[in-house]
A = this chain, B = another copy of it.
Amino acid sequence: MLDIALVHYPVYNKNHEIIGSAVTNLDLHDLARAGRTYGVGAVYIVTPFADQQELVKEIVGHWQDGYGAQYNKDRKEALTVIEICTDLDELFERVTKARQGRPTILATCASCQDKMVSFQDVRGAVEKKENVLLLFGTAWGLTEQVFTMVDGTLPPIIGSGDYNHLSVRSAVAIMLDRILGTRD
């Protein structure tokens, strides 16, 4: 089973300072819809800020129980995959409990890192029913500290040249397709 987490702390800002970023409404929708389409277990939203956790609950609640649930049943269904976590320790604990064993934890990044594993490897692991947790950073990406906490790193998504500044929404979609998508 593949689980994914969108991490709002600790991440870098553009000046390479460690910050907690704000939750973006469309991140929740796009990750939930992609997660549900590709059959991920859960999409964890990691933020230590109580007001941001409240915001996530309000957004999900609107589409689960509020007007949104009537308006768009597909969206209601997608948002069931969203879970909220305070920090990475809680995330790792909860996924370990849900999957009855610690998953392989992999970070993603826009530039090369150590401990690289291929998309093909992760695809194979998930096909063999192994549990994998993917971490995605918001803002200018996961901090170096996070990379010391994980088992490996997925390669950056390289396009046609030296520009690879995808939104996290795009990066999640592409990586889910590489790991779980059908191949024509």
A39 contact set on B, CB distance < 8 A: 159-161
Asked if A92 is at the interface of the complex by the 8 Å CB criterion, the answer is no
Q: Which chain B residue lies CB-closest to A155?
A: B184
Q: CB distance B14 to A157 under 8 Å? A: no
Number of interface residues of A (CB under 8 A): 43
Q: CB distance B167 to A30 under 8 Å? A: yes
Q: CB distance B158 to A78 under 8 Å? A: no
Count of chain copies: 2
A174 contact set on B, CB distance < 8 A: 173-174, 177, 181
- Please judge, given known A-B contacts A26-B26, A30-B167, A167-B169, whether A37 and B157 are in contact too, CB under 8 Å: yes
A173 contact set on B, CB distance < 8 A: 166, 169-171, 173-174
A119 contact set on B, CB distance < 8 A: 184
Interface centre among A71, A74, A159 (most CB of B within 10 A): A159
Bound complex: CA of A37 vs CA of B122, how far in Å?
23
Additional A-B contact list (16), CB under 8 Å, known A37-B165, A39-B161, A160-B180:
A26-B167, A30-B169, A34-B166, A34-B167, A36-B165, A37-B160, A38-B160, A39-B159, A39-B160, A78-B165, A118-B184, A119-B184, A120-B184, A158-B182, A159-B176, A159-B181
Can you list 23 pairs linking A and B with CB atoms under 8 Å apart? Answer: A26-B26, A30-B166, A33-B165, A34-B167, A34-B170, A36-B165, A37-B157, A37-B163, A37-B164, A37-B165, A38-B159, A38-B160, A39-B161, A78-B163, A118-B184, A155-B184, A160-B180, A169-B169, A170-B170, A170-B173, A174-B174, A174-B181, A177-B177
